[in-house]
Chains A and B, each alone.
Chain A
Amino acid sequence: MLSFIIRRILVSIPLLFLASIVAFILVINTGDPLEDLRTKQPPTPAATIALREHQLGLDKPPVERYVSWLTKAIHGDFGKTIKNQPVWDEVSRALGVTLRLVLFAEILSVLIGVTIGVISAVKQYSWFDYTATTGAFLLYSLPVLAVGSFLKYVLAIRLNRWIGRADDPLIKTIGEGTPNFCTPSKPYNCGFIPATTDFLSHALLPTLTLVLISFAGYARFSRASMLETLNADYVRTARSKGLSERRVILKHAFRNALMTVVTVISLDFGALIGGAILTETIFEWHGMGRVLVESITKIDPNLLLCWFFVTAVAVIAFNLIADILYAFLDPRIRLD
């Protein structure tokens, strides 16, 4: 098992290296970071432009830029943004915001999705199955944009108005937290309870959006996976041994169905580290999704490169975790 894990990690390193090259090619083709400076009226002095080019390393050939970026990145230095802030500070802050949103939402959608999927499979063709399968299919097909906007504009804003709290909304529709919530001037806000309440009232809508969109996928997937194991020979054997139905379903069918579900969850989670871009935009959270959008809009090469790097690491790491989990859960997988 250990040698399997080590081998998988070793295979991942060249993949990450190649991914960083692709990311670099994408970044240098995003556009000219100094576009604004060059087209400004009155014209910027050539010396200023040359200085900025030098600061951002734009005066060097691409290969040299890549090598110098890589050497620094390996040592943990991701350079500066175009506003001269350290890139890593910005990315790690955004990563924290995104994790707060995504972790919570992912756990909830897995719990709800898997439960619904398993019940649907056990009671196949019952009214529950039909309702759940159709409902899951509808939600699965709806655009995030529509679900998020509906929750924000139609439900939350009206609800806040209806209960007479339009100015100090009960359900917050903007941002990941109240700005300057806990400052020395407002010490009463710094306790655990006010901080948690503030977080929850901000997190409710984006979390709900993500859960509504992604639980449906897990429900569909675990239903299919569970149906497969319920029809397997070993489940028939378990039944014919006279085990209770509860035991057959939970210990024999569910455990085996879970193997594939766990892999899918792990892969999805890796993809979410890049930020729930649309959800973050609709509810104006400043997470990884916003970092991506802003770094592209403002053409910020180092920030965008770091974003690509962090997401690539996340995707590869969770691929690895999925592989290892699968090998660990299913002894039939050959490790060599």
Chain B
Amino acid sequence: MLPSDASPVDQIGMATLPEPPLADGELPGTPAEREFTVEQRSQWKTIWRRFTHHKPAMISLVVFFLLMVFAFVGPLFWKYKYDQVLKKPPGANKDWIRPSWEHPFGISKGYDVLAQVMRGTQYSIRIALVVMVVSVTIGVVVGAISGYFRGFTDSALMRFTDLMLVIPYLAAVAALQRNVKGSTWLWLALFLALFGWMGIARVIRGEFLSLREKEFVEAARSVGASSPRIIFKHIMPNTLGPIIVNATLAVGGAVLAEAALSFLGLGVKPPDTSLGKIIEVGKSKATTYPNEFWWPVLMLCLISLTVNFIGDGLRDAFDPKQNRVRA
């Protein structure tokens, strides 16, 4: 929802069809005269329509939803738990750990791999969501302040951003994560966010720099609106497009960054887990008993692909200039 007193001009910086000057709900002519009905489409309806017409994005949305169900609801109903040690049944041959109806992903080190992968996917998505919320918040605040106030504040914040970009992201997170004892996943998420907000800040700063010069901001200022009000009520709603797109892509980036660190042995530690952690444990048996290795790798690919497709669809929907799908 957009606040009613937001910009009178286009809300997300895109052209809409010119609308005839009609009062609300009034349509030209009587119904009998018209051969078709004209329905007024709001901006959000247009965006939603464009998004739903982006086939890969819609398919990805469904797949991603199923993944979430798999990760968060699956463990509640699956008959084996992630920490349940399975004993070799008497008389079974060495193939008992291979995939079967009892254990669709097979067994590794006495654990049911399906249960492990469900839990790993859950932790990966949890970490990614925390990273998304925190890094987008930092990025938007820094970008908004920088772009709105310009001048010294802007230079100071942007030099700081440059400095953060000089330090390699994964290395910085890994160095801090090394010292964490106890529960590790939340710390990892916070460190990833702390070193991963710079891209979003730059995008939002750019949006603010151009929007702050628009007439509706001048109008708001001239009637005495305060800076916070202009930032949050007038400019921020117009940057929702890039914020949503970047937030989506941040989820994919965080899942991959987490997997990379855990794969290197620098991410989450037991009792926490993640897809990267399972892959790290399973990599020594990638050729002999591939279940523990390839299933989490497949999950990782699925998350990364679906999130990128959803992000792509959202970008097309918000910014029809680089559109590939007509809607």
Interface magnitude class on chain A: 35 or more
A20-51 contacts to B, CB under 8 A, are 22-23, 26-27, 29-31
Choose among B166, B252, B308 the residue that contacts A15 (Cβ–Cβ < 8 A): B166
Contact with B along A273-311 (1 / 0, CB 8 A): 010011001000000000011001101000010011001
Q: How far is the CA of A153 from the CA of B164 in the complex (A)?
A: 37
Q: How far is the CA of A133 from the CA of B322 in the complex (A)?
A: 13
9 pairs from A and B in contact (CB 8 Å cutoff): A30-B176, A30-B178, A140-B308, A141-B304, A144-B260, A145-B263, A149-B293, A153-B286, A315-B165
Q: How far is the CA of A30 from the CA of B174 in the complex (A)?
A: 8
B170: nearest chain-A partner, CB-CB: A277
Q: How far is the CA of A237 from the CA of B84 in the complex (A)?
A: 72
**Contact status B171-A141, CB under 8 Å:** no
Give the chain A neighbours of B304 by CB distance below 8 A: 141-143
Q: How far is the CA of A52 from the CA of B231 in the complex (A)?
A: 55
B295 to chain A, nearest CB (A): 12
Give the chain B neighbours of A224 by CB distance below 8 A: 322
- Given A138-B305, A143-B259, A315-B166, 5 further pairs, Cβ under 8 A: A18-B163, A30-B176, A145-B263, A145-B279, A293-B265
Q: Is B264 an interface residue (CB 8 A)?
A: yes
Q: Is A56 an interface residue (CB 8 A)?
A: no
Choose among B164, B178, B263 the residue that contacts A278 (Cβ–Cβ < 8 A): B263
Q: Is A137 an interface residue (CB 8 A)?
A: yes
Q: How far is the CA of A297 from the CA of B324 in the complex (A)?
A: 46
Give the chain A neighbours of B165 by CB distance below 8 A: 315
**Contact status B175-A27, CB under 8 Å:** yes
**Contact status B283-A311, CB under 8 Å:** no
Choose among A22, A271, A293 the residue that contacts B264 (Cβ–Cβ < 8 A): A293
**Contact status A308-B279, CB under 8 Å:** no
Q: How far is the CA of A20 from the CA of B47 in the complex (A)?
A: 46
**Contact status B263-A271, CB under 8 Å:** no
**Contact status A19-B167, CB under 8 Å:** yes
**Contact status B179-A137, CB under 8 Å:** no
Q: Is B266 an interface residue (CB 8 A)?
A: yes
Choose among A137, A142, A278, A281 the residue that contacts B301 (Cβ–Cβ < 8 A): A142
**Contact status A29-B265, CB under 8 Å:** no
The verdict on A311 contacting B300 (CB below 8 Å), with A149-B283, A278-B260 known, is no
**Contact status B176-A146, CB under 8 Å:** no
Give the chain A neighbours of B252 by CB distance below 8 A: 141
Contact with A along B214-235 (1 / 0, CB 8 A): 0000000000000000000000
**Contact status B308-A137, CB under 8 Å:** yes
The verdict on A29 contacting B176 (CB below 8 Å), with A312-B167, A315-B166 known, is yes
Give the chain B neighbours of A26 by CB distance below 8 A: 167, 172, 175-176
Question: Which 5 A-B residue pairs are closest in the complex by CB-CB distance?
Answer: A141-B308, A31-B179, A26-B175, A19-B166, A30-B175
Q: How far is the CA of A277 from the CA of B286 in the complex (A)?
A: 20
Q: Is A316 an interface residue (CB 8 A)?
A: yes
Contact with A along B248-265 (1 / 0, CB 8 A): 000010001001100111
Give the chain A neighbours of B324 by CB distance below 8 A: 133
**Contact status A297-B266, CB under 8 Å:** yes
